[in-house]
């Protein structure tokens, strides 16, 4: 199959590379000159495990290439995937669909045959219908087919998720299987991946509702963690005990600093807005969004409390900047919220992360960056674990004790060995358990 991908961001790049890997001929197109030049030179602009090697292998085998402009979309092109960003809009609510509309205009201009447009970008329910209408208006001489095919990739595991997903969801006009999409995903279907064929609106909603449901699971366990702290239970044990029930499942029950990233926060708010346009109230999701905002806004208070009431003038080391381990992505990162709030409270903050750099966050201008966790701990009154990188859980408490002035640790990910740190004289303030 010959496939064009529009948008070489996180989703487009992983999708294009993996589609090439399963045997298709893929051209990834992006208007960002620096990004395309980097990719053409073998540089992958994001950190995603396994991606760089996969890009190099598929470029070398001639199945994957990069371009700044769309090629002519004639009948030799089997499908055009749209994977441009749909970030939160300027009002902080509705998804900004301007890049998507631009992509549709570009397709309309480049098409010399009726295109099959596959929408990978996360969009509110009804957008595929709108794209079909737009194509009909721009190119009445063609009859474009529009299919919804949402992605369920987790940053840090995206390549594995693409090649071995729990399911592939494809929404078509009439809900019936589309032969081109069947052929594109045949290698994965033959390996046993279930394909869920449905209508376009259902497919679009499956994506938003899945993210909202998982976000709700996280917000719920975080509220239960608060109760554990007050009542003397241990959230890790509570979550384990709950997760053993197959109806609940163990995933997404890790209490922590609140959910972040480029998806859960924006998708929750976007789904609320979609529901509102249909006059439906998603009260549980409203509560999830509010609960998570409150949690992230209260992270600095946890540190203040652990420091007996003030962080003013204190040196605080923060381990982790990315919104979760395994990625260099700092978008909507609880660690970044926390650091901004600590600085505003007068703390001197130093941070380190194995991969992430918080570019473009004005609140973090006075943040000092350390080379590694031990360098970060040097002279600190308190250390905070904000991102659960595995290397942080292997830190030597005695070596840290030599570096630090104070003995307070706030573990927002429950990633540190409490007993080991206690032996070295530390008091660990975890989440959902008492020190
Ligand atoms: C999420 C979904 O999991 C993917 O299926 C989806 O494709 C993606 O959004 C998207 O829409 O593109 P991602 O944002 O990469 O993936 O990250 P997750 O691993 O889902 O974590 C989201 C947030 O929840 C993170 O801040 C994480 O730290 C937090 N989390 C997750 C917890 O606090 N506790 C948990 O038990 C699990």
On whether residue 434 sits in a domain, the answer given is no
For residues 178 and 160, membership in a common domain is answered with yes
Rounded to the nearest angstrom, the distance between the alpha carbon of 432 and the centre of ligand 1 is 20
Q: What is the per-residue DSSP string for 172-230?
A: ESSSSPPHHHHHHTHHHHHTT--EEEEEHHHHHHHHHHHHHHHHHHHHHHHHHHHHHHH
List the CATH number of the domain containing 368.
3.40.50.720
Q: What is the pLDDT of residue 330?
A: 93
Q: Are 86 and 96 in contact (CB under 8 A)?
A: yes
Query: Residue 434: what pLDDT?
Result: 85
Whether residue 256 is annotated as binding a ligand: the answer is: yes
Mutate to test the pocket of ligand 1, among 324, 413, 431, 432 (most ligand atoms within 8 A of CB): 324
Buried b (16+ CB within 10 A) or exposed e, 360-375: ebeebeebeebeebbe
Q: In this structure, what token pair is assigned to residue 77? A: 């092109």
β-pairing verdict for 382-385 and 315-319:
parallel
Q: Look at residue 320 and tell me if it is in a domain.
A: yes
Read off the pLDDT of residues 141-159 as tens digits, 9 standing for 90 and up. Answer: 999 999 999 999 999 999 9
Residues 377 and 237 in one domain: no
Pocket test for ligand 1, best of 122, 167, 215, 259 (most atoms within 8 A of CB): 259
**What is the model's pLDDT at position 87?**
86
Report which of residues 94 and 384 the model is more confident about: 384
Q: Kindly state whether residues 15 and 121 are assigned to the same domain.
A: yes
Ligand 1 environment, Cβ below 6 A? 122, 151-155, 211, 214, 218, 252-254, 256, 259-261, 263-264, 323-324
57-85 pLDDT tens trace: 999 999 999 999 999 999 999 999 999 99
Of the residues 271, 295, 319, the one at which a domain ends: 295
Number of domains in the chain: 3
* DSSP letter assigned to residue 23: T
- If asked whether residues 38 and 161 sit together in one domain, one would say yes
> Other C-beta atoms within 10 Å of 176: how many?
10
Token pair for 333: 């990162």
**Domain range for 328:** 298-429
DSSP 345-391: TT-EEEEE-SS---TT-GGGTT-EE-SSHHHHHTT-SEEEE-S--HH
Q: What is the mean pLDDT of the chain?
A: 96
Residue 354 lies in a domain: yes
Same domain? For 49 and 177 the reply is: yes
pLDDT, tens digit, 9 for 90 and up, residues 361-416 = 776 777 899 999 999 999 999 999 999 999 999 999 999 999 999 999 999 999 99
pLDDT at 71: 95
Residue 263 appears among annotated catalytic residues: yes
Contact 5, 119 (CB under 8 A): no
Annotation-wise, does 331 bind a ligand?
yes
The catalytic position among 263, 330, 376, 382 is 263
Residue 127 in any domain: the answer is yes
169 & 267 share domain: no
Closest residue by CA, ligand 1 atom 28: 324
Q: Give dist(CA 29, CA 295) in Å, integer.
A: 39
Residues 18 and 164 in one domain: yes
CB hemisphere CA count around 96 (13 angstroms): 10
Count of Cβ atoms closer than 10 Å to residue 378 Cβ: 15
- Average pLDDT, stretch 180-205? 98
In percent, how much of the chain has pLDDT > 70?
99
Distance (Å, whole) CA 168 – CA 182: 11
Query: Does 280 share its domain with 392?
Result: no
304 shares a domain with 290: no
- Predicted confidence (pLDDT) per residue in 287-335, tens digit: 999 999 999 999 999 999 999 999 999 999 999 999 999 999 999 999 9
Beta-strand relationship, 116-119 and 79-82: parallel
Q: DSSP assignment, residue 160?
A: H
- Asked if 325 and 354 sit in the same domain, the reply is yes
CB 122 within 8 A of CB 297: no
For ligand 1, atom 2, name the residue with the nearest CA: 154
- What CATH number has the domain bearing residue 249? 1.10.1040.10
Q: Looking at ligand 1, which residue's alpha carbon is closest to its atom 24?
A: 259
Establish if 13 belongs to a structural domain.
Answer: yes
Q: pLDDT confidence of 93, banded at 50, 70, 90?
A: low
Which of residues 199, 225, 252 is at a domain's end? 199
* Judgement on whether residues 214 and 320 belong to the same structural domain of the protein: no
Which of 149, 170, 199 represents a domain boundary (last residue)?
199
Contacts of 85 (CB under 8 A, 6+ apart): 7, 9, 99, 121
What's the pLDDT score for residue 361?
Answer: 73
Asked, for residue 435, whether it belongs to a domain, the answer is no
User: Which residue CA neighbors atom 10 of ligand 1 most closely?
Assistant: 263
Q: Give the pLDDT score at 297.
A: 98
Q: How far is the CA of 342 from the centre of ligand 1 (A)?
A: 25
Which position has the token pair 């979550």?
A: 239
Nearest-atom index, ligand 1, CA of 261: 14
9-47, pLDDT tens digit by residue? 999 999 999 999 999 999 999 999 999 999 988 899 999
Exposure pattern of 44-66 as b/e (b: 16+ CB <10 Å)? bebbbeebeebbeebbeeebbbb
* 118 compared with 360, residue with greater pLDDT: 118
């Amino acid at each position: 199959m010959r496939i064009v991908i529009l948008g070489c961001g996180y989703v487009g790049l992983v999708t294009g590379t993996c589609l090439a890997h399963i045997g298709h001929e893929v051209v990834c197109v992006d208007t960002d000159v620096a990004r395309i030049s980097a990719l053409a030179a073998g540089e992958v602009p994001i950190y995603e495990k396994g991606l760089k090697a996969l890009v190099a292998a598929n470029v070398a085998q001639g199945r994957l290439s990069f371009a700044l402009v769309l090629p002519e979309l004639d009948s030799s092109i089997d499908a055009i995937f749209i994977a441009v960003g749909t970030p939160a809009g300027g009002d902080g609510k509705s998804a900004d669909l301007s890049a998507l509309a631009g992509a549709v205009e570009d397709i309309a201009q480049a098409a010399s045959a009726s295109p099959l447009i596959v929408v990978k970008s996360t969009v509110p329910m009804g957008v595929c219908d709108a794209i079909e209408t737009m194509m009909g208006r721009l190119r009445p001489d063609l009859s474009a087919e529009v299919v919804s095919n949402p992605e369920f990739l987790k940053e840090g595991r995206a390549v594995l998720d693409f090649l071995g997903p729990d399911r592939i969801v494809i929404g078509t006009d009439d809900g019936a299987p589309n032969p081109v999409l069947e052929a594109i995903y045949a290698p994965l279907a033959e390996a046993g991946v279930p394909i869920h064929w449905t209508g376009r609106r259902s497919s679009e909603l499956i994506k938003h509702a899945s993210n909202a449901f998982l976000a709700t699971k996280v917000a719920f366990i975080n509220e239960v963690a608060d109760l554990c702290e007050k009542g003397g239970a241990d959230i890790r044990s509570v979550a384990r005990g709950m997760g053993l029930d197959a109806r609940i499942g163990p995933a997404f029950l890790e209490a922590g600093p609140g959910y972040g990233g480029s998806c859960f926060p924006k998708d929750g708010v976007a789904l609320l807005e979609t529901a509102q346009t249909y006059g439906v109230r998603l009260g549980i999701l409203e509560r999830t969004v509010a609960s998570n905002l409150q949690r992230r806004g209260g992270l600095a208070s946890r540190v203040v409390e652990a420091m007996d009431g003030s962080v003013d003038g204190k040196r605080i080391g923060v381990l982790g900047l990315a919104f979760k381990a395994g990625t260099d992505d700092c978008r909507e990162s609880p660690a970044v919220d926390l650091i901004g709030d600590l600085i505003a409270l007068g703390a001197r903050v130093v941070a380190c992360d194995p991969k992430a750099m918080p570019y473009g966050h004005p609140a973090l201008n006075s943040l000092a960056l350390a080379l590694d966790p031990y360098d970060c701990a040097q002279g600190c009154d308190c250390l905070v674990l904000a991102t659960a990188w595995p290397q942080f859980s292997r830190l030597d408490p005695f070596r840290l004790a030599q570096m630090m002035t104070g003995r307070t640790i706030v573990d927002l990910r429950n990633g540190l060995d409490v007993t080991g740190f206690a032996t070295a004289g530390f008091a660990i303030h975890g989440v959902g358990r008492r020190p």
